[in-house]
Every structure is written in C-alpha cells, then in structure tokens.
Structure 1
Amino acid sequence: MGASCLEMADRFHGSRPSFIASLLALLAIPSEAAFAADATTRSPGDDLVIELGGGAKFEPSYEGASDYDVSPFPTIKLEYLNVPGLFTIGGGGDDLGFSIGPSFNVTGERDSSDHDELTGLNDVDATYELGLKASYEWEHAEVYGAARYAFGGAEGFVGDVGANAIFRPTSYLEFKIGPVATFAGEDYMDTYFGVTPGESLSTGGRLSAFDAEAGIKSAGVEAKARYEFREDWFLNAEASWTSMVADAKDSPIVEAGDDQQFTVGLGVSRRFSLDLFD
C-alpha cells in the first residue's frame, strides 16, 4: 500500500471517535433542495422497488490487518418485490414490521506478497457470499440477522446479527447505531485465520500453526446515516468498530496485525420503482 494510504490510516487511528462523529454529522446539514422534495413512498402499482449505487470505503486491507486501503463498493438493496399470486418480499422501504430480502458480500483476494507480515502464507482468492437478511423494524429500533453461503476463496456459512436504535430528525434524514456480531463456519475461519504446518514452516516459524474453529469472529458497533438530498437520491455514510474475538483474535495472522478493526464508507444511491406486471 502506498505511503498516502498509510498516512491516512495513521491519522484515522489517532482520532477515531472524532473522525467518525464528524463524518456522520455532515449528513445532518440540511439543504434547501432536499427539503423542497416530498418524502418518497411506494406507489400501489409498483411491483419492484430497488436501490442502486456505490461509493468508497476506508477499511482494513484484509481481516485482521493493521494497514488500510480505500476500495469501491456497490449498493444493491432490494426493498420490495411482488410477484402476483406467488410471493412478496419486503415492505417497500418505508413500511415498519417484518421484512426479508437478499444479502450479499464480497471479500477481495488476499495476496500475501502485498503484506510483509503474511509472507509465507498461501494466497486467498476473492470470496463471494450470497444469502438472505431478515429484520423487524419499529419506529425507533430494529433487529436483524443475515445468513449467507460463501464460495470462492473460502466456503461455508457466514452471517451477522445486530440491533439498532433509529433516529429520524426529519423525514429526509435517518441515523442508525447499535451492536453487531459476525460469525463464520470452520472452512471460512480456517481459510482466513488458520495457519497450516506447511505455511508455518514457510514463514520460518514466525507464524505458528493454528487451526481456527467455527464461531463468532467479531463484535462491535456500527453506525449509519442516510440523507435524501433529492427525491429518491440518497447520500449514505457508515462507520464501524469491531473487535476480533475467539479463534479469530487468537489467530497468529491477527496477532501479527490488529484485532481492532475500523471502517468508514461514503456513497450515493438512487431508488427505482417499477410496475412490472400491468
């Protein structure tokens, strides 16, 4: 990673709470254009409500890393899908109560040659995760859980559970903050946190052999802010702190890096509503 990214990471580590608070506070600044728009709700004839967009995230170079990279990320959120006579998913985005929808994640490849502390370990290809997320939302709180199947660099089930307090100062601005925990199956854990005897030998004994078991891999706090600056256009910010736990924390890979992980992301998205079945 270049010197500029390392300098960013150093500054970020030196002022984590104020940096995160300042980023989220930016979304609380209203604009005349935003407050001239009407709040968006799903029309009765809409069969599909989907949100698409993207942004950039400042995050650890790999799980357990002490250095950070800036990388792009997509936003794909299915808020509502109705297939007449078959099924309905979601509540259209503005409805409270139970909702269920797709969940996905991508973990980029881990190239050991890019990190001195990983020299001697096998590379890990990118891992793709697909599954479902279920949540129940009240006016000022929500609980959620997601389960996904991972394939590619690692295989097995992964997921997360959490809860949020929800604050809506205006109809255009929403804050969420709460605890979150992630879990993973044995193959995933062993791929990213395990060290085989052969790999240990390749590191010259610098990283001892380690067999990572399934279980909770991290726990922490996540905050999100969402600002509708124009009808159906959103500015999205997120920040999180998580601490590796159990076998993930005990892994020689994490011990050589950092068990405290931080992320900050900022992006833009647009909601699309379509009548698919006239």
Structure 2
Amino acid sequence: MLSTRLALPLTLAAGLSAAPALAQEEPAFSTQSGGGALAFTLRGGVSVSPEYFGSDSYAPGPDVGFRFNNLRLRNGREFGNPDPWADSLGWGVHGSFRYIGERDASDFSDLQGLDDVDQALELGVGVGYTARNFEAFADVRRGFGGHEAWVGAAGIDGIMRPNDRLRLSLGPRLLWGSEDYTETYFGVSPSEAGPLPAYDPSGGLVSAGVEFGARYQINDDWGVEGAVSWETFTGDAENSPIVERGDADQWKMRIGVTRTFRLRF
C-alpha cells in the first residue's frame, strides 16, 4: 500500500567528521585534484511495515534515504570521506529525520472512535562514533505536523565485512518519546472513549528492538542496501488499548538501490 499511513523510520547518516578513509581510494574524488566537490548517496526502494503504531497488519510503501559522503572546499578543507563506500572513523555529527504517515481511524475497525492523526515529519540532529568493527549513535528530533513532540533514538551495531564489497551490521535500538508523543499515538482521550477505554499515557521509553542491515557495493556508483528490524513497545505504550487490540511486536523491512553522485564546483 503506497498510502501515507505507512511510517518510514529513516535514520539519515550525514557524517561530517574529517576522519581517514577505511581502505579504498576514489580517484575521481581525490583531494589532489583542485576545486570544490560534493558527494552524496541517494536510496530508493520499497518497504513493509505496520499500518500504524501497534497494528497487527502490514502494508508496502516507498523507501527513500540520503547519506552525505564528502564535501571538499576550494581552500582544501575537507569533511567526510572521499570514498563513499568507506566508513568515516571517529566521532561525527549527523542529521536525523523520520517520516510518519497519517493515521485515518475510519480505515481500521480497531481504531473506531479515535481522531485522525495527520502525517508528521521529525527533524533533528545526532552524534555518532564509528570504529572498524562497531558504531554507535544517539539522535534527538522534534516533530512537525501530526505531532509536535520530542523523540530520542539510540543504537549500537557490530559491523562485519565478509569481503570488500559487503557490509553487515547488527545491533539494538531504543526509542524515547515525550508525553505529547505517546498521547498522540497511544492515548485515548475522554472524547474518543467508547469502543476503546480512555487512556492517558506518560512519556518515556517507547520501544526497544534490534536491527540487521546489509549493504553491497555493485560498482563505484551503484549499490544495494536493506534492513530488517524488530521492536516491541514498552511501558505506557505497551499498555495502550490501541496496542492491546493489535500487536506490541512490530517488524519492518526495506530494500533499495543506492546511487552515489559527485558534483564539482
């Protein structure tokens, strides 16, 4: 289903640290050539996820992503890694966003009586640390549209490289939300009560889970990237009558083709 009901959690790594390349060298983007340059990677594909938070039914939708690779200024200063397929090691700051589709209560019998929730876009920043065999991150975002609350996300991955083209990662994920966030997606106000009892959740840890990701380099410009994640709601989110009617365990899957672009200026 390509409707905006689908939530597409996207953590967009935009590593801005000037750490050394892992091993490969990109001749077309070598710092030895003059002028400024910018490199970034776009991802497009398909995903499958619950139709709303707590749903026990799933639907397909689009998968899109953006990753900053490298910026070289005319004065020679450089940010990121000239090789788009190598990890920038050390500490870095990145952008973070997540899109949450609208929830139309009339489309689901389990949500009868609830108000609709508009689509939302979460924008924020994060900090991360990358080593050859692991990486960790912590993000904070604010919602706009369907909710105007604060959320936080954190995770750590072990990294495996069976060969020089394949990168595998596996690790836990945590998501926190403020009270406004949990009220929006897990609460039932007195005016909405009827088929579902009134419920006023507090903020806190919303979910915990694990994600497995894979990335394969086809050539210098093209690749394939995918991930499978599982999370379970915790605390007041888990006890929501919306979740109790559906499922506290949520699965998400995505796969897409990546293309790296290099611009000179």
> By the TM > 0.5 criterion, same fold?
yes
Asked whether 1:80 is paired with 2:67, we answer no
Letter in 2 for 1:195: V
Structure 1: which 5+ residue stretches go unaligned? Answer: 2-37
Letter in 2 for 1:70: P
After superposition, the CA RMSD in angstroms is 2.0
Pick from 118, 121, 127: which aligns with 2:114? 121
Q: Secondary structure at the match of 2:188?
A: coil
- Per-residue CA deviation, residues 18-76 of structure 1 (Å, 9 max, x unaligned), is xxxxxxxxxxxxxxxxxxxx956453256422111211111000111100000102111
Cα 1:116–1:270 shift into 2, 3 Å: same
Asked whether 1:97 is paired with 2:99, we answer no
For 1:33, the equivalent position in structure 2 comes to none
- Per-residue CA deviation, residues 199-243 of structure 1 (Å, 9 max, x unaligned), is 01xxx3x31111121111100110100001122211011001101
CA distance in 2 between counterparts of 1:89 and 1:99 reads 10
For 1:43, the equivalent position in structure 2 comes to 30
Cα 1:40–1:246 shift into 2, 3 Å: farther
> Would the aligned equivalents of 1:40 and 1:231 in 2 still touch at CA under 8 Å?
no
Aligned length, in residue pairs: 235
Q: Secondary structure at the match of 2:62?
A: strand
Pick from 36, 52, 68: which aligns with 2:58? 68
Cα 1:116–1:139 shift into 2, 3 Å: same
Structure 2: which 5+ residue stretches go unaligned? Answer: 2-22
Letter in 1 for 2:30: S
> Would the aligned equivalents of 2:63 and 2:255 in 1 still touch at CA under 8 Å?
no
| Poorly superposed stretches of 4+, deviation over 6 Å | none
Q: Secondary structure at the match of 2:132?
A: coil
For 2:191, the equivalent position in structure 1 comes to 198
Letter in 1 for 2:59: D
When you count helix as a share of all residues, which structure comes out higher? 1
Cα 1:99–1:79 shift into 2, 3 Å: farther
- Per-residue CA deviation, residues 161-191 of structure 1 (Å, 9 max, x unaligned), is 0000000111111000000101111111110
Asked whether 1:230 is paired with 2:219, we answer yes
Asked whether 1:179 is paired with 2:179, we answer no
Letter in 2 for 1:266: I
Q: Secondary structure at the match of 1:190?
A: helix
TM-score normalised by the chain length of structure 2: 0.83
For 1:136, the equivalent position in structure 2 comes to 129
Q: How does 1:253-272 map to 2 (within 5 A)?
A: 253-272=242-261
Shift of 1:89: 5.3
How much identity, in percent, do the aligned residues show?
Answer: 38
Shift of 1:83: 5.4
> Would the aligned equivalents of 1:166 and 1:176 in 2 still touch at CA under 8 Å?
yes
Shift of 1:109: 0.3
Letter in 2 for 1:223: F
